[in-house]
Amino acid sequence: MGGTVAIVTGAGSGLGRAVALALGRAGYAVVLAGRRRDPLDAVAAEIDNALAVETDVTDPASVDRLFARVAAVHGRLDLLFNNAGIFTPAAPVDAVRLADWRASLDTNLTGAFLCTQGAFRMMKAQVPRGGRIINNGSVSAQVPRPHSAPYAATKHAMTGLTRATSLDGRPHDIACGQIDVGNAATEMTQGFAAGVRQADGSLKQEPMMAARHVADAVVYMAGLPLSANVQFLTLTATTMPYIGRG
């Protein structure tokens, strides 16, 4: 049994790694979920109480194995950070490949849904019952970038999943919130500093912020009692194109 237990998906790199390390420092037993074993093991080596579980969030059987492992090792779950996500190649909506559309939906949305189901079932049944789910929404859940239909659609849908989970969780002491992040410096966003497509078609460098600020915000959201919930939190690099995408 391991105290307060958290699952972080996409934990081997980027925001997942930053959040997992921050939760570990805050005293959580952290379950690291991701497709690549080596990065998971590297993160686990930096956390006092960590468990690495290879997981493909697009595969229901893989997700089931993740939650079965958590139940076997820890006996409960207090926090899920739904973070796993991908970018697909930039393209105007009429040129998006169906394979890219489906890949984005499978990872960014269906993956979050499957993990939400697993967490919800566990939190609902455990004693004491309840827990918290935090979804990584992105500011693209509010305003899209040009040529990003698959990503923007999945992140807008994430907001719907957050709201529905929050509502369905009320009778079971399950809180659900969402953090919408803009321009945190990670492997996925390293190209932003070189130039990002703007609404007027130009390419411009964009300001970035450290991933640790996002991690600190997630730890704050996670640390609230279940009687309180941050429903939506938007955290951006201060001068990035966001308000009006300008």
**Token pair listed for 103:** 């890949």
Measure the CA–CA gap between 112 and 192, rounded to whole angstroms. Answer: 25
Closest to 222 in 3D by CA, of 48, 23, 31, 16: 23
Report yes or no: 80 and 115 within 8 Å, Cβ to Cβ. Answer: yes
* Amino acid (one-letter) located at 40: L
Q: Is the previous residue joined to 60 through a cis bond, with omega within 30 degrees of 0?
A: no
Mark whether 151 is an active-site residue: yes
Find where tokens 């992105």 sit: 138
* Active-site residue, from 28, 151, 220, 242: 151
3-state secondary structure of 132: strand
Report yes or no: 203 and 196 within 8 Å, Cβ to Cβ. Answer: yes
| 48-58 core/surface letters (b: 16 or more CB in 10 A; e: else) | ebbbbbbbbbb
Q: Which residues are catalytic?
A: 151
